[in-house]
Protein backbone atom coordinates (compact mmCIF):
# COMPACT_ATOMS: atom_id res chain seq x y z
CA UNK A 1 0.00 0.00 0.00
CA UNK A 2 1.34 3.44 -0.89
CA UNK A 3 1.81 6.28 1.59
CA UNK A 4 -1.05 8.08 -0.18
CA UNK A 5 -3.42 5.16 0.36
CA UNK A 6 -2.32 4.78 3.96
CA UNK A 7 -3.01 8.45 4.75
CA UNK A 8 -6.35 8.43 2.90
CA UNK A 9 -7.55 5.29 4.70
CA UNK A 10 -6.54 6.70 8.09
CA UNK A 11 -8.43 9.94 7.42
CA UNK A 12 -11.51 8.09 6.09
CA UNK A 13 -11.53 5.96 9.24
CA UNK A 14 -11.23 9.05 11.47
CA UNK A 15 -14.22 10.69 9.75
CA UNK A 16 -16.18 7.41 9.63
CA UNK A 17 -16.46 7.29 5.85
CA UNK A 18 -14.84 5.50 2.91
CA UNK A 19 -11.69 6.11 0.91
CA UNK A 20 -12.30 6.43 -2.83
CA UNK A 21 -9.14 5.17 -4.60
CA UNK A 22 -10.60 5.88 -8.06
CA UNK A 23 -11.04 9.17 -9.86
CA UNK A 24 -12.31 12.12 -7.88
CA UNK A 25 -11.66 13.33 -4.39
CA UNK A 26 -10.14 10.79 -1.97
CA UNK A 27 -12.42 11.20 1.06
CA UNK A 28 -15.87 12.81 1.36
CA UNK A 29 -18.06 13.45 4.36
CA UNK A 30 -21.38 15.27 4.45
CA UNK A 31 -19.57 18.60 4.89
CA UNK A 32 -15.96 18.02 3.74
CA UNK A 33 -14.08 17.06 0.58
CA UNK A 34 -10.54 15.88 1.35
CA UNK A 35 -7.79 15.29 -1.20
CA UNK A 36 -4.55 13.61 -0.11
CA UNK A 37 -1.25 14.73 -1.62
CA UNK A 38 2.02 12.99 -0.74
CA UNK A 39 4.23 15.85 -1.88
CA UNK A 40 4.18 19.62 -1.80
CA UNK A 41 4.92 19.52 -5.54
CA UNK A 42 1.49 18.03 -6.30
CA UNK A 43 -0.61 20.59 -4.37
CA UNK A 44 -1.91 22.10 -7.61
CA UNK A 45 -3.25 18.65 -8.61
CA UNK A 46 -5.12 18.49 -5.31
CA UNK A 47 -6.55 21.97 -5.81
CA UNK A 48 -7.82 20.91 -9.24
CA UNK A 49 -9.46 17.77 -7.79
CA UNK A 50 -11.35 19.91 -5.25
CA UNK A 51 -12.82 22.33 -7.80
CA UNK A 52 -16.58 22.32 -7.98
CA UNK A 53 -17.24 21.03 -4.46
CA UNK A 54 -19.72 23.12 -2.52
CA UNK A 55 -18.51 21.99 0.89
CA UNK A 56 -15.41 22.66 2.95
CA UNK A 57 -12.38 21.60 0.94
CA UNK A 58 -9.16 20.26 2.45
CA UNK A 59 -5.82 19.00 1.26
CA UNK A 60 -4.14 16.50 3.57
CA UNK A 61 -0.35 16.25 3.44
CA UNK A 62 2.37 14.43 5.40
CA UNK A 63 3.24 16.25 8.63
CA UNK A 64 6.54 17.62 7.31
CA UNK A 65 4.72 19.48 4.49
CA UNK A 66 2.01 21.13 6.61
CA UNK A 67 3.78 24.53 7.01
CA UNK A 68 4.54 24.72 3.26
CA UNK A 69 0.99 23.70 2.35
CA UNK A 70 -0.48 26.36 4.63
CA UNK A 71 1.81 28.94 3.06
CA UNK A 72 1.00 27.94 -0.53
CA UNK A 73 -2.76 27.76 0.07
CA UNK A 74 -2.86 31.02 2.03
CA UNK A 75 -4.82 32.97 -0.60
CA UNK A 76 -7.36 30.20 -1.19
CA UNK A 77 -10.39 28.91 0.68
CA UNK A 78 -8.85 25.43 0.90
CA UNK A 79 -7.90 24.15 4.33
CA UNK A 80 -4.96 21.96 5.32
CA UNK A 81 -4.93 18.72 7.30
CA UNK A 82 -1.98 16.70 8.51
CA UNK A 83 -1.54 13.01 7.74
CA UNK A 84 -3.77 12.07 10.70
CA UNK A 85 -6.68 14.21 9.51
CA UNK A 86 -6.18 16.94 12.12
CA UNK A 87 -7.18 20.34 10.75
CA UNK A 88 -4.18 22.70 10.71
CA UNK A 89 -5.81 25.46 8.68
CA UNK A 90 -9.57 25.74 8.59
CA UNK A 91 -11.26 25.86 5.17
CA UNK A 92 -13.64 28.61 4.17
CA UNK A 93 -16.88 27.62 2.49
CA UNK A 94 -16.85 28.14 -1.28
CA UNK A 95 -18.85 31.20 -2.27
CA UNK A 96 -18.34 32.94 1.08
CA UNK A 97 -15.86 35.72 1.78
Angle at 85 between CA 82 and CA 89, to 5 degrees: 55
| Residues 6 or more apart whose Cβ sits within 8 Å of residue 93 | 55, 56, 77
96 in any annotated domain: no
pLDDT-derived band at 3, boundaries 50, 70, 90: confident
Has residue 97 been placed in a domain?
Answer: no
- Domain assignment of residue 51, given as a range: 3-89
At 18-48, the pLDDT tens digits run 998 888 899 999 999 999 999 999 999 999 9
Q: What number is the average pLDDT over the span 51-69?
A: 95
CA distance 88 to 11: 14
Whether residue 95 lies inside any domain: the answer is no
Mean pLDDT of the chain: 92
Does 74 reside within a domain? Answer: yes
pLDDT confidence band for 49 (50 / 70 / 90): very high
Total number of domains in the chain: 1
Amino acid sequence: MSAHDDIAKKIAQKYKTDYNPGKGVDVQTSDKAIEVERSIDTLSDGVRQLQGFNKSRYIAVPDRFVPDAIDRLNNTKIGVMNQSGDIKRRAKKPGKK
